């Protein structure tokens, strides 16, 4: 079973590929975190039961495979039938029998299960024709949704570890770094540092040993590409790390995984065990004489531990407090030895770069940002999920062509990128080609590829306050500008959203922001003002409305907002009545409903459920005025 030579590896790959192609009828059931939440495990089990039943009369030769996240989580559970290439969405276990009967045995498509394009209203049959997938170019996510992440032979059949074989038997470490340099790949974890240059610095640094680490901490709320890669194709991460380790001649590696990602830990653990069993990890990999092994470390649930020096302290068993930046981790990283740390997506792309060549990767993307990038497209957009696109794709293409536009066709307001260190990009910049530099110039950041779409019902003051509150809690407290700056800024935001903002508050915020940018120890504090500054830059009038008019134009800030039902729009559907958590709504079915302003807590639950859009928000102070009259 252990692979002792390159020939043995190639033979195993050929054999796995044959098994794979001989499987006549395949049913791929997505079992990523998103689909599992919608019940995909039951669906997979129902298919297995159905096969067991059918195999008695042997009419179909079925093979059910649980795959990683297809990315289209909102439509889950997803089922793909191959070789037909049919995609069924929102499949419930109860419909499995019908699918087997009609589609697999009868060759008939069930229209009700097909994806309905929200733009054209048409049903789309083929997986590849769904606009959400059609526009994508998948490199780091190349195998996700196609392989069973717990089956190493399935991954090998699709080409995993071929890059390892290539570097170990054909290339010198120097040549490997050269190939990665040609690709121009930059880190996918946030800062966008050139991968090859990082590896070279580590290789050149003195030290008796060096380490290779994978950053799977994915702390940006709203981003989940790393989770999907670790869950859906852990082998691509291992392959990248083995290649990187060979390039810098490291023998030990760690993957630092976020505590909130239990399935990622399970699938990575299985992948490492399997890789060791086949001699793809451990001593004398593929009989080449090169040793490298990987361990998993589960994070403790601290955002700052995604920062490189904090992550290394955490791996050492300490509290995750960052170090000053003048110490480079490529010189003095983990245990003060030279260390390469790359993001999950960065590692996942390496195998493809080695296999297909750096020039191929560099042929995609923009001048300064090469290749493709994974994004999680979420928020108030019709198609939410995980996508991978060439760098330089415009925001408009992403949000409207792939995302299908804004939920309920409401007006677009902004898209938040880069997580708590990023910013909000407004409508005027929708034609911005997305790459590292363009986003930075727009006052935002690439970060880890979270894209949170916001509509007119999102308050930009509230969003900025949300990020400040997040960062205040996550700040490690080591340096004063970050610890105290966040606290004071939050204090000012607190009074603005309560309608007690004062003249000069915005200038005060800007002053605090400047201080934090200058004085903070690590990037967490330095970049913390980004969400604040970008919203001030593009949505200043919204802040001013809060301060001078005591009004929240989006109708979100509770202390400033009142709700009422517009008389001639209400058809008495009673949904708001049921949704109200404090019973502030009265009315009977088919008649006009009324909100009691005294009891209303302005939570907005009624507005969210109203199908006729007849609930209106208005500034609360108008209510008081009305009472005086």
Partner 1 sequence: MAETPCSDLSKAEEILGRYPQEEPALIQVLQDVHRAYNYLPCDVLERVAEALEVPLAKVFSVSTFYKAFSLEPQGDTIVKVCTGTACHIRGAGQLVEELERQLGVGPDETTEDFKFTVKTVNCVGACAMAPLVIVGEKYFGSAKPARVSKYLTEGGADEN
Ligand X SMILES: Cc1cc2nc3c(=O)[nH]c(=O)nc-3n(C[C@H](O)[C@H](O)[C@H](O)COP(=O)(O)O)c2cc1C
**Per CB under 8 A, does 490 bind partner 1?**
no
Which of 529, 533, 534, 536 has its CA nearest to residue 475?
529
Choose which of 95, 142, 380, 546 interacts with partner 1 (CB under 8 A).
380
Closest to ligand FES by CB, 192 vs 222, is: 222
State the nearest-atom distance from the C-beta of 142 to ligand X, in Å: 18
3-state helix, strand and coil shares in percent for the chain, rounded to the nearest 5:
45, 15, 35
Q: What is the CA radius of gyration of the chain?
A: 27
Site track for ligand X across 419-458, x = CB under 6 A: -----------------------------x----------
Question: What are residue 73's phi and psi, to 5 degrees?
Answer: -55, -35
How far from the centroid of its chain's Cα atoms is residue 119's Cα?
Answer: 24
Separation CA 367–CA 152 (nearest Å): 36
**In this structure, is the dihedral angle defined by the CA atoms of residues 557, 558, 562 and 563, taken in order, positive or negative?**
positive
Token pair recorded at residue 214: 């994978």
Choose which of 140, 171, 247, 524 interacts with ligand X (CB under 6 A).
524
DSSP H helices, 406-459, are 436-441
Q: 36 contacts which partner out of ligand FES, partner 1, ligand X, none, CB within 5 to 8 A by kind?
A: partner 1
**3 state SS of 418:** coil
Q: 433 contacts which partner out of ligand X, partner 1, ligand FES, none, CB within 5 to 8 A by kind?
A: none
Count the site residues for partner 1 by CB under 8 A: 62
Site track for partner 1 across 567-586, x = CB under 8 A: -----------xx-x-----
Binders of ligand X in range 105-164 (CB under 6 A): none
Closest to partner 1 by CB, 353 vs 378, is: 378
Report whether 515 contacts 361 (CB < 8 A). no
**Per CB under 8 A, does 386 bind partner 1?**
yes
Closest to ligand X by CB, 67 vs 236, is: 236
Using the structure block, give the residue that is written with the tokens 């649980």.
66
Choose which of 604, 618, 621, 623 interacts with partner 1 (CB under 8 A).
604
Choose which of 67, 342, 464, 520 interacts with ligand X (CB under 6 A).
342
Report whether 557 contacts 546 (CB < 8 A). yes
**Per CB under 6 A, does 340 bind ligand X?**
no
Task: Identify any residues that bridge with 595 across adjacent strands, giving them in sequence order.
Answer: 585
**3 state SS of 325:** coil
**Per CB under 8 A, does 302 bind partner 1?**
yes
How far from the centroid of its chain's Cα atoms is residue 600's Cα?
Answer: 36
Ordered DSSP codes for 467-527: HHHHHHHH--S-SHHHHHHHHHHHHHHHHHHTT---TTHHHHHHHHHHHHHHH-SSHHHHH
Closest to ligand FES by CB, 76 vs 351, is: 76
Closest to ligand X by CB, 309 vs 617, is: 309
Report whether 337 contacts 213 (CB < 8 A). no
Choose which of 99, 461, 463, 521 interacts with partner 1 (CB under 8 A).
463
Omega before 86 within 30 of 0, i.e. cis: no
State the nearest-atom distance from the C-beta of 228 to ligand X, in Å: 14
State the nearest-atom distance from the C-beta of 227 to ligand FES, in Å: 9
**Per CB under 6 A, does 239 bind ligand X?**
no
Choose which of 185, 384, 421, 534 interacts with partner 1 (CB under 8 A).
384
State the nearest-atom distance from the C-beta of 610 to partner 1, in Å: 14
**Per CB under 6 A, does 187 bind ligand X?**
yes
Separation CA 331–CA 336 (nearest Å): 8
Token pair recorded at residue 313: 């302290």
Stretch of residues binding ligand X (CB under 6 A), selected from 56-64, 244-252, 335-343, 621-629 = 335-343
Site track for partner 1 across 505-534, x = CB under 8 A: ------------------------------
**Per CB under 6 A, does 299 bind ligand X?**
no
Q: 190 contacts which partner out of partner 1, ligand FES, ligand X, none, CB within 5 to 8 A by kind?
A: ligand X
Choose which of 215, 339, 444, 617 interacts with ligand X (CB under 6 A).
215
State the nearest-atom distance from the C-beta of 259 to partner 1, in Å: 5
* DSSP designation for 73: G
Choose which of 219, 240, 501, 619 interacts with ligand X (CB under 6 A).
219
Count the site residues for ligand X by CB under 6 A: 22
**3 state SS of 321:** coil
Closest to ligand X by CB, 10 vs 260, is: 260
**In this structure, is the dihedral angle defined by the CA atoms of residues 351, 354, 360 and 364, taken in order, positive or negative?**
positive
For ligand FES, the binding residues (CB under 6 A) are 221-222
* DSSP designation for 75: G
How far from the centroid of its chain's Cα atoms is residue 174's Cα?
Answer: 33
**Per CB under 8 A, does 542 bind partner 1?**
no
**Per CB under 6 A, does 210 bind ligand X?**
no
State the nearest-atom distance from the C-beta of 344 to ligand X, in Å: 7
**Per CB under 8 A, does 314 bind partner 1?**
yes
**Per CB under 8 A, does 73 bind partner 1?**
yes
**3 state SS of 582:** coil
Residue nearest to ligand X (CB): 187
State the nearest-atom distance from the C-beta of 270 to ligand FES, in Å: 24
**What distances in angstroms separate CA 240 from CA 204, 206, 434, one per listed residue?**
20, 23, 25
Choose which of 76, 163, 190, 450 interacts with ligand X (CB under 6 A).
190
Choose which of 33, 330, 343, 475 interacts with ligand X (CB under 6 A).
343
Which of 226, 287, 282 has its CA nearest to residue 251?
282
Choose which of 26, 150, 297, 366 interacts with partner 1 (CB under 8 A).
297
Q: 498 contacts which partner out of ligand X, ligand FES, partner 1, none, CB within 5 to 8 A by kind?
A: none
Separation CA 109–CA 114 (nearest Å): 8
CB atoms within 10 A of CB 612: 13
Report whether 232 contacts 155 (CB < 8 A). no
97 HSE (CA, 13 A, CB side) = 2
Task: Identify any residues that bridge with 94 across adjacent strands, giving them in sequence order.
Answer: none
258 HSE (CA, 13 A, CB side) = 25
Token pair recorded at residue 25: 């009828």
Binding site for ligand X (CB under 6 A): 187-191, 193, 215, 217-219, 304, 306-308, 341-343, 346, 448, 522-524
Binding site for partner 1 (CB under 8 A): 33-34, 36-38, 72-74, 76, 218-224, 227-228, 258-261, 297-303, 314-320, 376, 378-380, 384-386, 416, 419, 450, 452, 454, 458, 463, 466-467, 470, 474, 476, 578-579, 581, 603-605, 608
């Amino acid at each position: 079973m252990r692979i002792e030579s390159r020939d043995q590896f190639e033979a195993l790959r050929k054999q796995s590929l044959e098994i794979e192609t001989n499987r006549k009828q395949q049913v791929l059931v997505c079992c990523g975190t998103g689909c599992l939440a919608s019940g995909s495990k039951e669906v997979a089990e129902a298919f297995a039961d159905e096969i067991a039943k059918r195999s008695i009369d042997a009419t179909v030769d079925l093979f059910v495979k649980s795959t990683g996240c297809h990315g289209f989580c909102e439509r889950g559970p997803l089922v793909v039938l191959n070789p037909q290439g049919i995609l069924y969405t929102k499949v419930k276990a109860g419909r499995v029998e019908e699918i087997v009967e009609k589609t697999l045995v009868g060759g008939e498509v069930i229209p009700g299960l097909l994806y309905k394009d929200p733009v054209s209203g048409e049903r789309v049959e083929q997986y590849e024709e769904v606009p959400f997938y059609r526009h994508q170019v998948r490199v780091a996510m190349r195998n996700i949704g196609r392989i069973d992440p717990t089956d190493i032979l399935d991954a090998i059949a699709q080409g995993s570890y071929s890059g390892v074989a290539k570097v170990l038997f054909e290339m010198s470490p120097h040549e490997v770094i050269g190939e990665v340099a040609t690709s121009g790949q930059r880190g996918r974890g946030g800062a966008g540092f050139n991968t090859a240059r990082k590896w070279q610095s580590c290789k050149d640094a003195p030290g008796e040993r060096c380490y290779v680490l994978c950053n799977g901490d994915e702390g940006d709320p709203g981003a989940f590409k790393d989770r999907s890669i670790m869950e859906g194709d852990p082998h691509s991460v291992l392959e990248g790390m083995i290649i990187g380790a060979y390039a810098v001649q490291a023998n030990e590696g760690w993957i630092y995984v976020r505590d909130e990602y239990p399935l990622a830990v399970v699938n990575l653990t299985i992948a490492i065990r399997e890789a060791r069993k086949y001699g793809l990890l451990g001593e004398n990999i593929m009989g080449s004489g090169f040793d490298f092994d990987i361990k998993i470390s589960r994070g403790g649930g601290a955002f700052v531990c995604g920062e490189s020096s904090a992550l290394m302290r955490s791996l050492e068993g300490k509290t995750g407090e960052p170090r000053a930046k003048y110490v480079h981790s490529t010189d003095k990283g983990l245990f003060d030895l030279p260390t390469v740390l790359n993001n999950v997506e960065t590692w996942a792309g390496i195998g493809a770069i080695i296999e297909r060549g750096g020039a191929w990767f560099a042929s995609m993307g923009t001048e300064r940002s090469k290749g493709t990038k994974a994004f999680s497209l979420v928020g108030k957009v019709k198609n939410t999920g995980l996508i991978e696109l060439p760098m330089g794709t415009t925001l408009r293409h992403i949000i409207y062509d792939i995302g299908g536009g804004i939920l309920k066709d409401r007006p677009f307001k902004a898209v938040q990128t880069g997580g708590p260190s990023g910013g909000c990009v407004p409508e005027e910049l929708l034609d911005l080609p997305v790459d590292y530099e363009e986003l930075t110039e727009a006052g935002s950041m690439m970060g880890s590829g979270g894209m949170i779409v916001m509509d007119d019902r999102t308050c930009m003051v509230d969003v900025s306050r949300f990020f400040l509150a997040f960062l205040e809690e996550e700040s490690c407290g080591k340096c004063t500008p970050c610890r105290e700056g966040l606290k004071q800024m939050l204090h000012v935001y607190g009074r603005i959203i309560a309608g007690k903002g004062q003249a000069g508050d915005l200038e005060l915020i800007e002053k605090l922001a400047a201080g934090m940018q200058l004085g903070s120890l690590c990037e967490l504090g330095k970049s913390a003002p980004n969400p604040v500054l970008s919203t001030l830059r593009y949505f200043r009038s919204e802040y001013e409305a809060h301060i001078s008019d005591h009004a929240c134009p989006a109708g979100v800030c509770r202390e400033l907002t009142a709700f009422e039902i517009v008389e001639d729009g209400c058809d008495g559907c009673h949904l708001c009545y049921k949704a109200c958590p404090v019973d502030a709504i009265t009315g009977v079915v088919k008649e006009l409903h009324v909100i009691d302003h005294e009891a209303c807590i302005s939570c907005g639950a009624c507005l969210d459920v109203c199908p006729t859009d007849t609930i209106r928000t208005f500034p609360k102070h108008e209510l008081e005025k009305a009472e005086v009259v």
